[in-house]
Amino acid sequence: MIFSGLPCGGSMVKQRRERVKALEKKAGEEKAARNKEFVREITPKAENYSQWYVDVILKTKMMDYAPVKGFMAIRPAGFALWEKIQELLDRRFKETGHENAYFPMFIPQELLHKEAEHVEGFAPEVAWVTKGGDEVLTEPLVVRPTSEAIICDFYSRWIQSYRDLPLLINQWCNVVRWEKSTRPFLRTSEFLWQEGHTCHRTEEEAEEETLRMLEVYREFMETEMAIPALVGRKSEQEKFAGALRTYTVEALMTDGRALQSGTSHNLGQHFAKVFDITYLDEDDQLKYVWQTSWGVSTRLIGALIMVHGDDRGLALPPRMSTYQAVIVPILTKKDRERVLESVRELSRELGSQVRVKLDDREEYSPGWKYNEWEMRGIPLRIEVGPKDLDKNQVVVVRRDTGEKNFIPREELNSYIPGLLEQIQSDMLKRALEFREANTRSGDDYEEFKRVMEEERGLFLASWCGEEECEEKVKEDTRATIRCIPFDREIEHKNCLVCDKKAEEVVYFARAY
């Protein structure tokens, strides 16, 4: 019996082959499309610096905008950098005797209002909670803009005797400041940070702690982030609300603006007297403690992007990068297994010395991968193809310079760690050279105004110490006193602004 409508065996095989070919063609077209769509163009720095910054952050998937203005989600690529900052700084905190704790994020209104100068400084940025569920709260709560008030309340109970001192505590947390103008990582309404809060018996001990932690920040930025840091004291107008003295770590971004990257405050006995933080000393006298506070935040991620990034995207220092090297195999049908076997062995070997990523995804071309990892700022790319296996070599490409070298396979394990250290050193050197090339000094106010408008950068000049001159600079140029440096490179002259006798030498700059 013959059943009509059903193809014979040969016809079925032919149709199956045609379907397979069609599917393969479609898959090939989709792969080609993915390769072509790799990266939307990143706006060049010179064309629009602000747009370049946003393009890099979004394209590398470091963050995404939240439904509430000024807030953001930190995506894995961005949070990995924050985790690295935490890891490296937390180790330093513990080495200097500090312990981690956690304090409530809600602060009763009464506590915040205890210290008038402090609350006045933060009042415009405070977020209030007035209801809990359907119930109106009898006392509004503040979402912490900083934690001095709530921590001092606890310290007043925890400290009784000189034996309780020094009290050295750090907190990793989030804070909320209702900012009017925001920029991802640099200034957001909610951000992550650490805040150290310590108590001491004497003013000398508190000052020593304040400067010790400032040095921790400076050393961390230069050693790990490859960012040269200026350290010094803030002017009275720029210091932290309620502090005796504020010290700062300042960095210069590649658009010529300064970024306050960390601060350390000697709080004196101001908060201790307001919150009654006292201790019974060895002489049986009740005395107020001397306090400090210090902190850095996720704005360090912004600094990392702006100091080292370029028109191709991120460029991460090896010590900060999640992956220090990425291995990209070049696969062909003939040599696929041979290449894969080699790169897997290579990944295992290098993995014992450096943080390495093997990108063996076959749905993307090698060129697409080169572009992706370059954009993400991974310090080294290692290429391995059939020809490299034949020559017993690998291709090593630096992200920071684009330099390409052919390295014998047997030398790679010793070559890569040394090269990473060289990249780390070179990146710091280039950033320092940029800062030096964009630092000027002088006593001509008209020239200063021209520099701030046309060239930006840092300007070292003498200042009489009067707020009026500090305010005039802000009004005329939008520049501020970034710090009064410890190491003065010029002698006191007459004030840049009023030409009276100078009291200080300071760095001026426009800032984020």
pLDDT tens by residue, 7-36:
455 566 566 666 656 665 665 555 555 444
Judge whether residue 323 has pLDDT over 50.
Answer: yes
End-to-end CA distance of the chain: 87
More confident residue, 32 or 406: 406
Domain 96-303: CATH architecture, name and number where available = 2-Layer Sandwich (3.30)
Cβ(229)–Cβ(251) below 8 Å: yes
Alpha carbons within 13 A on the beta-carbon side of 175: 24
Q: What is the pLDDT of residue 245?
A: 97
Q: What is the 3-state secondary structure (H, E, C) of 416-478?
A: HHHHHHHHHHHHHHHHHHHHHHCEEECCCHHHHHHHHHHCCCEEEEEECCCHHHHHHHHHHHC
Q: What is the pLDDT of residue 108?
A: 94
Superfamily, domain 325-425: Anticodon-binding domain (3.40.50.800)
For 348-351, the CB contacts below 8 A with 24+ separation are 349/412, 349/413, 350/325, 350/412, 350/413, 350/416
Confidence band of 489 (pLDDT split at 50, 70, 90): low
> Stretch 269-296: mean pLDDT, rounded?
97
Judge whether residue 478 has pLDDT over 80.
Answer: yes
For 164-168, the CB contacts below 8 A with 24+ separation are 164/279, 165/199, 165/200, 165/201, 165/279, 165/289, 166/198, 166/199, 166/200, 166/201, 166/205, 166/209, 167/198, 167/199, 167/289, 168/96, 168/97, 168/98, 168/99, 168/196, 168/198, 168/209
Collapsing DSSP states into helix, strand and coil, what is residue 58? helix
**Residue ranges per structural domain of the chain:** 96-303, 325-425, 439-509
Q: What is the 3-state secondary structure (H, E, C) of 356-374?
A: EEECCCCCCCHHHHHHHHH
Q: What is the pLDDT of residue 114?
A: 85
Ramachandran class of 478: left when φ > 0, alpha when ψ lies in -120 to 50, beta otherwise: left
Confidence band of 3 (pLDDT split at 50, 70, 90): very low
* Both tokens assigned to 249: 């770590």
pLDDT tens by residue, 41-67:
799 999 999 999 999 999 999 999 999
What single-letter amino acid sits at 367? G
Q: What is the pLDDT of residue 16?
A: 62
Length of the chain, in residues: 512
Cβ(185)–Cβ(305) below 8 Å: yes
More confident residue, 17 or 473: 473
pLDDT tens by residue, 83-98:
999 999 999 999 999 9
CATH number of the domain at 439-509, out of 3.40.120.10, 3.90.550.10, 3.30.110.30, 3.40.50.2000? 3.30.110.30
Tell me how far the alpha carbon of residue 258 is from its chain's centroid. 14
Q: What is the pLDDT of residue 2?
A: 39
Contacts of 22 (CB under 8 A, 6+ apart): none
